[in-house]
Amino acid sequence: MQRTTPSTLNGHRFDLLVVGGGIQGAAVAREAALRGLSVLLVEAEDFAGGTSSRSSRLIHGGLRYLREGHVALVREALQERERLLRLAPHLVWPQAMLMPFFDDSSGSRLAGWLGMQAYRLLAGRSRLPGPGVLSARAAVAAFPDLRSRGLRGALQFYDAATVDGRLTLANLEDAARAGARLINHCALVGLAAGGGLRLADRLGDTEITVHARQVMNAAGPRADAVRRLLGQDGKDLVRTTRGSHLVLPPRPTDRALAAFLPDGRIQFVIPHTDGTICGTTDVDQPVGEAEPDVPEADVRYVLDALAWLLDPAPTRQDVRHAWCGLRALPAGNGPPGALNREAFLVTERLPGGKLHTIVGGKLTTHRALAERSINQLFSTCSAGSPSRERALPGGEGPACPDDPLWARHGCEAIAVRRLCEEEPAWAEPLCPHRPMLGAELVYAQREQAAVSFSDVMLRRLWHTQGPCLDEECLRRAHGIFVRERRWVGDEDFAEAANALRTAAVGVSGGVGIRKA
């Protein structure tokens, strides 16, 4: 996957222009390209730089949505969960989960059990084990540090986990293989004469004009801002809320927790090999120029929730990293958690075609939404979608879960190993604090359209605890980066390292930031 040079596309016409390089835009671009359409996707910042790398990293039906009556959404999500487990085993894997019940919790064991049975029925022929019941003692044995005081027992069930940013990149890579043109750090800035669309290349400081029959607005939280750029003055379609997560050290258990808090919200504690993700919040948040960091109120909320759930309670000193993502929900009144997550399109007219804005959507259902959207936009594409049975890049061959490179790249690990043969020094870890190899940094530049040093360190070499910010480690990584640099910029170490540190603090708000 290469970044297309914008100047080579000036004046070109496309069947579809996708605005936004998150999971929804990536899936739409992939779907359209697989159907033989000409596609251009533009992203103002970096691919998966916003919400699509700041989620709870779950692929799930959503028991909370089932409790709220969104049966169709849960059924679709569970079907897509099964598809992703089969077609992207390196990106999506089974996750055992416990749902504990306490004397002072808001959940009912009977309602939970009935919900689990409905969950299993909606999943159809699932490859995951069915639910079970655990006593209080068995629940604590399965998840050490679970609060035993007032614990009445737990339900065990299975969903799936992922690394959201990698899943987004895999969709983009497959879109590129199918012929889509992809440009990050390139912003839509408005309409041009004759119905064209103006794009500003933020690397070359140039502006081009392209034409498209259809424009898909997949900008998520910034969807209404895109509409305004294109002359739409109707009411806002999107309401944005923030979801904050804290990262604790890795845990000895591979089970996750999904617990209903006394306030009715759900709290996740999700183990990954490189950290434990805890969250989340659901609070209205206006959209700003930059992605939000984690406010102090959210840190306190999640730590208080963990203090209610775990014994001993984690402290602020245990927090290793944090992030906050914006959800793009349908505009409406009422508490954010009650709004429907089912995605839909809103169509408006442009001088040279039509604008379609995605409202809502879940990480889990990205492929299904893309299939429906392309069917709706292009009547000639109403046949079955090739994406239903096509593996995502890296998922084509045999699974090797014990191989760390396979876990990060799937079958593309072969290409990473070839780079190790090209330059033996690249076979060494970049630093003693993170497992990624020098070859993976080179692969990010050559094959994953990474432009800046921050693109590589923050959004290609994903680590649950964030990038290592140790000076010596950054110097080694930057030396490799400069050698392989494809685009102008970030050649000065001090400036590049400072930009990375600023970006890392911008993600976390400084919560848990350590040099190493």
CA-based R_g, the chain, Å: 22
Inform me whether the pLDDT recorded for 123 exceeds 70: yes
Span(s) in the chain for CATH 3.50.50.60: 6-51+165-237+340-388
Counting other chains too, the contacts that 189-196 makes at CB distance below 8 Å and 24 or more residues apart are 189/229, 190/229, 190/230, 191/229, 191/230, 191/231, 191/350, 191/351, 194/351, 194/352, 195/350, 195/351, 195/352, 195/353, 196/352
The structural architecture, per CATH, of the domain 6-51+165-237+340-388 is 3-Layer(bba) Sandwich (3.50)
Interacting residues of 300 by C-beta distance below 8 A, sequence separation 6+: none
Tell me the pairing of strands 181-183 and 39-42.
parallel
- Assign 289 a pLDDT band (cuts: 50, 70, 90): confident
Structure tokens at 441: 């940094």
- Per mean pLDDT, which range of 53-62, 247-256, 506-515 is the poorest? 506-515
Mean pLDDT of the chain: 93
Task: Give the C-alpha separation, 301 to 201, whole Å.
Answer: 40
Cβ 282 vs Cβ 241: under 8 Å? yes
Give the rounded distance of the alpha carbon of 29 from its chain centre: 16
Q: In this structure, what is the dihedral angle of CA atoms 47, 455, 329, 373, given to the nearest 10 degrees?
A: 10
Token match 């692929």: residue? 59
Structure tokens at 17: 């222009």
- Assign 291 a pLDDT band (cuts: 50, 70, 90): confident
Task: Give the C-alpha separation, 260 to 244, whole Å.
Answer: 17
Cβ 331 vs Cβ 237: under 8 Å? yes
Task: Give the C-alpha separation, 393 to 451, whole Å.
Answer: 21
Give me the CATH topology for the region 92-160+239-326.
D-Amino Acid Oxidase; Chain A, domain 2 (3.30.9)
Single-letter amino acid, residue 259 = A
Interacting residues of 432 by C-beta distance below 8 A, sequence separation 6+: 473
- Assign 337 a pLDDT band (cuts: 50, 70, 90): low
Residue 357's DSSP bridge partners are 217, 346
CA distances from 232 to 220, 281, 288, 351 (A): 16, 31, 19, 11
140-167 pLDDT, tens digit per residue, is 999 999 999 999 999 999 999 999 999 9
Task: Give the C-alpha separation, 89 to 84, whole Å.
Answer: 7
Q: Could you give the angle at which helices 71-87 and 366-377 cross, rounded to 10 degrees?
A: 110
Task: Give the C-alpha separation, 157 to 133, whole Å.
Answer: 9
CA distances from 380 to 19, 32, 36, 56, 358 (A): 22, 12, 11, 37, 21
Single-letter amino acid, residue 304 = D
Task: Give the C-alpha separation, 89 to 406, whole Å.
Answer: 10
Look at residue 515 in the predicted model and tell me its pLDDT.
Answer: 53
Single-letter amino acid, residue 200 = A
Span(s) in the chain for CATH 3.30.9.10: 92-160+239-326
Structure tokens at 463: 């680590």
- Assign 310 a pLDDT band (cuts: 50, 70, 90): very high
Inform me whether the pLDDT recorded for 306 exceeds 70: yes
Single-letter amino acid, residue 368 = A
Spell 497-512 as b/e; 16+ CB within 10 A means b. Answer: bebbbebbeebbbebb
* Coil vs helix vs strand at 487: coil
Left if phi > 0, otherwise alpha if psi is -120 to 50, otherwise beta: which for 67?
Answer: alpha
479-497 pLDDT, tens digit per residue, is 999 999 989 889 999 999 9
Residue 212's DSSP bridge partners are 14
Percent of the chain with pLDDT over 90: 82
Look at residue 382 in the predicted model and tell me its pLDDT.
Answer: 62
57-116 pLDDT, tens digit per residue, is 999 998 878 877 788 999 999 999 999 999 999 999 999 999 999 998 877 788 888 888
Percent of the chain with pLDDT over 70: 97
Tallying the residues shown for the chain, one arrives at: 516
Task: Give the C-alpha separation, 218 to 454, whole Å.
Answer: 23
Inform me whether the pLDDT recorded for 334 exceeds 90: no
* Coil vs helix vs strand at 345: strand
Look at residue 192 in the predicted model and tell me its pLDDT.
Answer: 95
367-380 pLDDT, tens digit per residue, is 999 999 999 999 86
Cβ neighbourhood burial of 425 (10 Å; 0-12, 13-18, 19+): exposed
Inform me whether the pLDDT recorded for 332 exceeds 60: yes
- Per mean pLDDT, which range of 62-71, 203-212, 339-348, 456-465 is the poorest? 62-71
Look at residue 398 in the predicted model and tell me its pLDDT.
Answer: 86
- Provide the whole-model pTM: 0.96
Cβ neighbourhood burial of 298 (10 Å; 0-12, 13-18, 19+): buried
Look at residue 379 in the predicted model and tell me its pLDDT.
Answer: 80
